Structure 1
Protein backbone atom coordinates (compact mmCIF):
# COMPACT_ATOMS: atom_id res chain seq x y z
CA UNK A 1 0.00 0.00 0.00
CA UNK A 2 2.72 2.24 0.60
CA UNK A 3 3.84 1.93 -2.88
CA UNK A 4 0.45 2.74 -4.19
CA UNK A 5 0.17 5.89 -2.03
CA UNK A 6 3.57 7.10 -3.10
CA UNK A 7 2.79 6.33 -6.67
CA UNK A 8 -0.62 8.05 -6.46
CA UNK A 9 0.93 11.04 -4.76
CA UNK A 10 3.64 11.08 -7.29
CA UNK A 11 1.16 10.99 -10.10
CA UNK A 12 -0.89 13.95 -8.84
CA UNK A 13 2.01 16.30 -8.12
CA UNK A 14 4.28 17.92 -10.54
CA UNK A 15 7.93 17.70 -9.51
CA UNK A 16 8.65 21.09 -11.04
CA UNK A 17 6.15 22.91 -8.85
CA UNK A 18 7.21 23.02 -5.17
CA UNK A 19 4.86 22.31 -2.34
CA UNK A 20 2.88 25.32 -1.07
CA UNK A 21 3.98 24.79 2.55
CA UNK A 22 7.59 24.82 1.47
CA UNK A 23 7.05 28.10 -0.39
CA UNK A 24 5.32 29.65 2.64
CA UNK A 25 8.03 28.50 5.09
CA UNK A 26 10.76 29.68 2.73
CA UNK A 27 9.08 33.09 2.26
CA UNK A 28 8.61 33.48 6.05
CA UNK A 29 12.24 32.51 6.71
CA UNK A 30 13.40 34.86 3.98
CA UNK A 31 11.24 37.66 5.46
CA UNK A 32 12.66 37.10 8.95
CA UNK A 33 16.18 37.00 7.57
CA UNK A 34 15.47 40.12 5.49
CA UNK A 35 14.09 41.91 8.56
CA UNK A 36 17.15 40.96 10.70
CA UNK A 37 19.59 41.99 7.98
CA UNK A 38 17.80 45.29 7.29
CA UNK A 39 17.31 46.07 11.00
CA UNK A 40 20.75 45.14 12.41
CA UNK A 41 23.30 44.23 9.76
CA UNK A 42 22.69 46.98 7.18
CA UNK A 43 22.82 49.82 9.79
CA UNK A 44 26.05 48.36 11.17
CA UNK A 45 27.49 48.27 7.66
CA UNK A 46 26.21 51.81 7.02
CA UNK A 47 27.73 53.03 10.26
CA UNK A 48 31.07 51.40 9.45
CA UNK A 49 30.90 52.84 5.93
CA UNK A 50 30.17 56.32 7.26
CA UNK A 51 33.01 56.07 9.82
CA UNK A 52 35.45 54.97 7.17
CA UNK A 53 34.26 57.65 4.75
CA UNK A 54 34.61 60.26 7.49
CA UNK A 55 38.05 58.93 8.42
CA UNK A 56 39.17 58.97 4.80
CA UNK A 57 37.74 62.45 4.22
CA UNK A 58 39.27 63.63 7.51
CA UNK A 59 42.57 62.05 6.52
CA UNK A 60 42.40 63.76 3.14
CA UNK A 61 41.56 67.06 4.82
CA UNK A 62 44.41 66.58 7.29
CA UNK A 63 46.74 65.66 4.43
CA UNK A 64 45.64 68.75 2.47
CA UNK A 65 46.10 70.90 5.59
CA UNK A 66 49.52 69.36 6.20
CA UNK A 67 50.40 69.91 2.53
CA UNK A 68 49.28 73.54 2.75
CA UNK A 69 51.25 73.98 5.97
CA UNK A 70 54.30 72.37 4.37
CA UNK A 71 53.97 74.64 1.34
CA UNK A 72 53.67 77.69 3.61
CA UNK A 73 56.73 76.56 5.57
CA UNK A 74 58.60 76.00 2.30
CA UNK A 75 57.65 79.47 1.07
CA UNK A 76 58.71 80.96 4.40
CA UNK A 77 61.99 79.04 4.25
CA UNK A 78 62.63 80.24 0.70
CA UNK A 79 61.88 83.81 1.77
CA UNK A 80 64.21 83.51 4.76
CA UNK A 81 66.89 82.01 2.52
CA UNK A 82 66.49 84.87 0.04
CA UNK A 83 66.62 87.39 2.89
CA UNK A 84 69.70 85.69 4.33
CA UNK A 85 71.43 85.75 0.94
CA UNK A 86 70.54 89.41 0.48
CA UNK A 87 71.83 90.21 3.97
CA UNK A 88 75.03 88.23 3.33
CA UNK A 89 75.59 90.11 0.05
CA UNK A 90 74.98 93.43 1.80
CA UNK A 91 77.40 92.51 4.61
CA UNK A 92 79.97 91.35 2.07
CA UNK A 93 79.61 94.59 0.10
CA UNK A 94 79.86 96.65 3.29
CA UNK A 95 83.00 94.73 4.25
CA UNK A 96 84.51 95.38 0.80
CA UNK A 97 83.70 99.07 1.04
CA UNK A 98 85.08 99.24 4.58
CA UNK A 99 88.22 97.38 3.46
CA UNK A 100 88.71 99.75 0.53
CA UNK A 101 88.18 102.71 2.85
CA UNK A 102 90.70 101.36 5.37
CA UNK A 103 93.16 100.61 2.57
CA UNK A 104 92.80 104.15 1.20
CA UNK A 105 93.31 105.58 4.69
CA UNK A 106 96.39 103.42 5.22
CA UNK A 107 97.81 104.45 1.83
CA UNK A 108 97.13 108.09 2.66
CA UNK A 109 98.81 107.72 6.06
CA UNK A 110 101.74 105.90 4.49
CA UNK A 111 102.13 108.61 1.84
CA UNK A 112 101.96 111.32 4.51
CA UNK A 113 104.48 109.46 6.68
CA UNK A 114 106.72 108.92 3.66
CA UNK A 115 106.52 112.61 2.77
CA UNK A 116 107.25 113.57 6.38
CA UNK A 117 110.23 111.21 6.59
CA UNK A 118 111.49 112.41 3.20
CA UNK A 119 111.12 116.06 4.24
CA UNK A 120 112.83 115.34 7.54
CA UNK A 121 115.64 113.57 5.68
CA UNK A 122 116.01 116.51 3.28
CA UNK A 123 116.13 118.93 6.22
CA UNK A 124 118.69 116.77 8.00
CA UNK A 125 120.75 116.36 4.84
CA UNK A 126 120.62 120.12 4.23
CA UNK A 127 121.68 120.77 7.84
CA UNK A 128 124.52 118.28 7.55
CA UNK A 129 125.52 119.79 4.20
CA UNK A 130 125.55 123.29 5.73
CA UNK A 131 127.60 121.98 8.66
CA UNK A 132 129.97 120.28 6.23
CA UNK A 133 130.23 123.47 4.16
CA UNK A 134 131.00 125.51 7.28
CA UNK A 135 133.48 122.90 8.44
CA UNK A 136 135.06 122.72 4.99
CA UNK A 137 135.23 126.52 4.74
CA UNK A 138 136.96 126.67 8.09
CA UNK A 139 139.37 123.89 7.23
CA UNK A 140 139.92 125.06 3.67
CA UNK A 141 140.37 128.59 4.99
CA UNK A 142 142.97 127.47 7.45
CA UNK A 143 144.75 125.36 4.86
CA UNK A 144 144.53 128.12 2.24
CA UNK A 145 145.88 130.69 4.68
CA UNK A 146 148.80 128.45 5.59
CA UNK A 147 149.43 127.66 1.93
CA UNK A 148 149.21 131.30 0.90
CA UNK A 149 151.46 132.23 3.78
CA UNK A 150 154.07 129.73 2.64
CA UNK A 151 153.78 130.89 -0.99
CA UNK A 152 153.93 134.57 -0.19
CA UNK A 153 156.46 134.04 2.51
CA UNK A 154 154.73 136.10 5.10
CA UNK A 155 152.27 135.23 7.76
CA UNK A 156 148.60 135.77 7.03
CA UNK A 157 147.48 135.55 10.58
CA UNK A 158 145.25 138.58 10.27
CA UNK A 159 141.74 137.18 10.48
CA UNK A 160 140.09 139.74 8.25
CA UNK A 161 142.67 139.32 5.55
CA UNK A 162 142.58 135.53 5.78
CA UNK A 163 138.76 135.53 5.64
CA UNK A 164 138.90 137.59 2.44
CA UNK A 165 141.45 135.27 0.90
CA UNK A 166 139.39 132.21 1.84
CA UNK A 167 136.16 133.72 0.52
CA UNK A 168 137.81 134.67 -2.77
CA UNK A 169 139.33 131.20 -3.09
CA UNK A 170 136.00 129.47 -2.43
CA UNK A 171 134.16 131.79 -4.83
CA UNK A 172 136.67 130.93 -7.53
CA UNK A 173 136.29 127.25 -6.73
CA UNK A 174 132.48 127.43 -6.95
CA UNK A 175 132.71 129.33 -10.25
CA UNK A 176 134.95 126.62 -11.67
CA UNK A 177 132.57 123.88 -10.51
CA UNK A 178 129.47 125.58 -11.98
CA UNK A 179 131.31 126.18 -15.27
CA UNK A 180 132.36 122.51 -15.35
CA UNK A 181 128.80 121.35 -14.59
CA UNK A 182 127.27 123.48 -17.38
CA UNK A 183 129.75 122.08 -19.98
Structure 2
Protein backbone atom coordinates (compact mmCIF):
# COMPACT_ATOMS: atom_id res chain seq x y z
CA UNK A 1 0.00 0.00 0.00
CA UNK A 2 1.43 3.22 -1.02
CA UNK A 3 0.35 6.69 -1.35
CA UNK A 4 -1.56 5.97 -4.49
CA UNK A 5 -3.36 3.01 -3.03
CA UNK A 6 -4.76 4.01 0.39
CA UNK A 7 -6.07 1.55 2.90
CA UNK A 8 -9.90 1.47 2.76
CA UNK A 9 -10.21 1.47 6.57
CA UNK A 10 -8.24 4.67 6.77
CA UNK A 11 -10.39 6.21 4.06
CA UNK A 12 -13.59 5.16 5.84
CA UNK A 13 -12.33 6.37 9.25
CA UNK A 14 -11.11 9.62 7.63
CA UNK A 15 -14.47 10.12 5.87
CA UNK A 16 -16.42 9.38 9.06
CA UNK A 17 -14.25 11.84 11.00
CA UNK A 18 -14.61 14.40 8.19
CA UNK A 19 -18.41 14.13 8.10
CA UNK A 20 -18.59 14.04 11.88
CA UNK A 21 -16.52 17.24 12.16
CA UNK A 22 -18.47 18.77 9.23
CA UNK A 23 -21.76 17.85 10.94
CA UNK A 24 -20.67 19.29 14.27
CA UNK A 25 -19.53 22.47 12.56
CA UNK A 26 -22.71 22.69 10.46
CA UNK A 27 -25.17 21.88 13.23
CA UNK A 28 -23.69 23.46 16.37
CA UNK A 29 -20.82 25.88 15.78
CA UNK A 30 -21.95 27.66 12.58
CA UNK A 31 -25.49 28.48 13.90
CA UNK A 32 -23.99 29.85 17.11
CA UNK A 33 -21.49 31.82 15.07
CA UNK A 34 -24.31 33.17 12.88
CA UNK A 35 -26.33 34.11 15.98
CA UNK A 36 -23.34 35.90 17.45
CA UNK A 37 -22.73 37.74 14.19
CA UNK A 38 -26.44 38.64 13.95
CA UNK A 39 -26.40 39.98 17.52
CA UNK A 40 -23.28 42.02 16.80
CA UNK A 41 -24.77 43.36 13.58
CA UNK A 42 -27.99 44.20 15.43
CA UNK A 43 -25.98 45.89 18.17
CA UNK A 44 -23.99 47.85 15.64
CA UNK A 45 -27.01 48.79 13.49
CA UNK A 46 -29.17 49.37 16.59
CA UNK A 47 -26.38 51.41 18.17
CA UNK A 48 -26.13 53.55 15.06
CA UNK A 49 -29.93 53.88 15.01
CA UNK A 50 -29.97 54.80 18.71
CA UNK A 51 -27.12 57.24 18.12
CA UNK A 52 -29.09 58.91 15.30
CA UNK A 53 -32.18 59.08 17.51
CA UNK A 54 -30.13 60.49 20.39
CA UNK A 55 -28.55 63.00 18.01
CA UNK A 56 -31.97 64.10 16.74
CA UNK A 57 -33.25 64.40 20.32
CA UNK A 58 -30.14 66.39 21.25
CA UNK A 59 -30.73 68.72 18.28
CA UNK A 60 -34.35 69.22 19.37
CA UNK A 61 -33.27 69.88 22.94
CA UNK A 62 -30.59 72.31 21.75
CA UNK A 63 -33.11 74.16 19.57
CA UNK A 64 -35.55 74.38 22.49
CA UNK A 65 -32.72 75.58 24.74
CA UNK A 66 -31.72 78.29 22.25
CA UNK A 67 -35.34 79.46 21.99
CA UNK A 68 -35.69 79.58 25.79
CA UNK A 69 -32.38 81.42 26.05
CA UNK A 70 -33.49 83.98 23.46
CA UNK A 71 -36.79 84.44 25.31
CA UNK A 72 -34.94 84.85 28.61
CA UNK A 73 -32.58 87.40 27.09
CA UNK A 74 -35.53 89.32 25.67
CA UNK A 75 -37.25 89.27 29.06
CA UNK A 76 -34.05 90.42 30.78
CA UNK A 77 -33.72 93.31 28.32
CA UNK A 78 -37.35 94.28 28.95
CA UNK A 79 -36.80 94.17 32.72
CA UNK A 80 -33.61 96.27 32.40
CA UNK A 81 -35.47 98.82 30.26
CA UNK A 82 -38.34 99.01 32.76
CA UNK A 83 -35.88 99.39 35.64
CA UNK A 84 -34.03 102.16 33.80
CA UNK A 85 -37.28 104.00 33.13
CA UNK A 86 -38.41 103.56 36.73
CA UNK A 87 -35.00 104.76 37.96
CA UNK A 88 -35.20 107.83 35.73
CA UNK A 89 -38.70 108.57 37.06
CA UNK A 90 -37.49 108.18 40.65
CA UNK A 91 -34.53 110.48 39.99
CA UNK A 92 -36.82 113.08 38.43
CA UNK A 93 -39.25 112.85 41.37
CA UNK A 94 -36.39 113.12 43.88
CA UNK A 95 -34.95 116.09 42.00
CA UNK A 96 -38.35 117.86 41.98
CA UNK A 97 -38.84 117.15 45.68
CA UNK A 98 -35.35 118.49 46.38
CA UNK A 99 -36.16 121.66 44.40
CA UNK A 100 -39.38 122.15 46.37
CA UNK A 101 -37.60 121.63 49.67
CA UNK A 102 -34.82 124.00 48.63
CA UNK A 103 -37.35 126.66 47.65
CA UNK A 104 -39.18 126.19 50.96
CA UNK A 105 -35.90 126.51 52.88
CA UNK A 106 -34.91 129.61 50.91
CA UNK A 107 -38.31 131.20 51.50
CA UNK A 108 -38.15 130.35 55.21
CA UNK A 109 -34.61 131.75 55.37
CA UNK A 110 -35.69 134.99 53.64
CA UNK A 111 -38.60 135.33 56.05
CA UNK A 112 -36.27 134.70 59.02
CA UNK A 113 -33.79 137.24 57.66
CA UNK A 114 -36.58 139.83 57.28
CA UNK A 115 -37.71 139.19 60.86
CA UNK A 116 -34.13 139.39 62.09
CA UNK A 117 -33.60 142.66 60.18
CA UNK A 118 -36.75 144.15 61.67
CA UNK A 119 -35.71 143.07 65.17
CA UNK A 120 -32.21 144.41 64.58
CA UNK A 121 -33.62 147.73 63.36
CA UNK A 122 -35.86 148.03 66.41
CA UNK A 123 -33.03 147.08 68.75
CA UNK A 124 -30.70 149.49 66.96
CA UNK A 125 -33.16 152.37 67.24
CA UNK A 126 -33.57 151.73 70.93
CA UNK A 127 -29.87 151.38 71.61
CA UNK A 128 -28.71 154.19 69.30
CA UNK A 129 -31.21 156.60 70.79
CA UNK A 130 -30.18 155.69 74.32
CA UNK A 131 -26.48 155.83 73.52
CA UNK A 132 -26.83 159.15 71.66
CA UNK A 133 -28.65 160.80 74.57
CA UNK A 134 -26.12 159.39 77.06
CA UNK A 135 -23.23 160.70 74.96
CA UNK A 136 -24.91 164.07 74.44
CA UNK A 137 -25.59 164.23 78.17
CA UNK A 138 -21.92 163.54 78.93
CA UNK A 139 -20.82 166.20 76.48
CA UNK A 140 -23.24 168.78 77.90
CA UNK A 141 -22.81 167.61 81.41
CA UNK A 142 -26.50 167.10 82.09
CA UNK A 143 -28.68 164.05 81.64
CA UNK A 144 -30.88 164.36 78.54
CA UNK A 145 -33.09 161.30 79.03
CA UNK A 146 -36.15 163.34 79.92
CA UNK A 147 -35.57 165.67 77.00
CA UNK A 148 -35.28 162.84 74.50
CA UNK A 149 -38.40 161.14 75.87
CA UNK A 150 -40.47 164.31 75.75
CA UNK A 151 -39.50 165.55 72.38
CA UNK A 152 -39.23 162.20 70.49
CA UNK A 153 -36.10 163.50 68.86
CA UNK A 154 -34.67 160.02 68.27
CA UNK A 155 -37.83 158.84 66.46
CA UNK A 156 -37.84 162.01 64.36
CA UNK A 157 -34.20 161.41 63.45
CA UNK A 158 -34.91 157.88 62.24
CA UNK A 159 -38.10 158.99 60.51
CA UNK A 160 -36.12 161.49 58.46
CA UNK A 161 -33.72 158.78 57.30
TM-score between both structures, scaled by the size of structure 1: 0.58
Per-residue deviation, residues 59-110 of structure 1 (Å, max 9, x unmatched): 1111112112222222233233323323332333333223222222222222
**Which runs of no fewer than 5 residues in structure 1 stay unpaired?**
1-17, 174-183
* Paired residue secondary structure (1:155): helix
Alignment-derived partner of residue 11 in structure 2: none
Alignment-derived partner of residue 98 in structure 2: 110
Q: In structure 1, what is the Cα distance between the partners aligned to 2:90 and 2:16?
A: 107
Q: 1:157 aligns with which of 149, 153, 156?
A: 149
1:120 has 2:108 as partner: yes
RMSD (CA atoms): 3.8
Q: In structure 1, what is the Cα distance between the partners aligned to 2:148 and 2:17?
A: 171
**Which runs of no fewer than 5 residues in structure 2 stay unpaired?**
9-13
Alignment-derived partner of residue 9 in structure 1: none
Per-residue deviation, residues 123-151 of structure 1 (Å, max 9, x unmatched): 1000011111222233344566775xx7x
Alignment-derived partner of residue 131 in structure 1: 119
Q: How does 1:7-156 map to 2 (within 5 A)?
A: 39-40=27-28, 42-142=30-130, 155-156=147-148
Q: Looking at CA atoms only, which structure, 1 or 2, has the larger radius of gyration?
A: 1
Task: Go from structure 1 to structure 2 and tell me whether the alpha carbon gap of 1:156 and 1:133 turns closer, same or farther (over 3 Å shift).
Answer: closer
Q: In structure 2, what is the Cα distance between the partners aligned to 1:139 and 1:29?
A: 153
Deviation of 1:162 after TM superposition, in Å, equals: 0.9
> Number of paired residues?
152
Alignment-derived partner of residue 181 in structure 1: none
Higher relative contact order (CA 8 A, sep 6+): 1
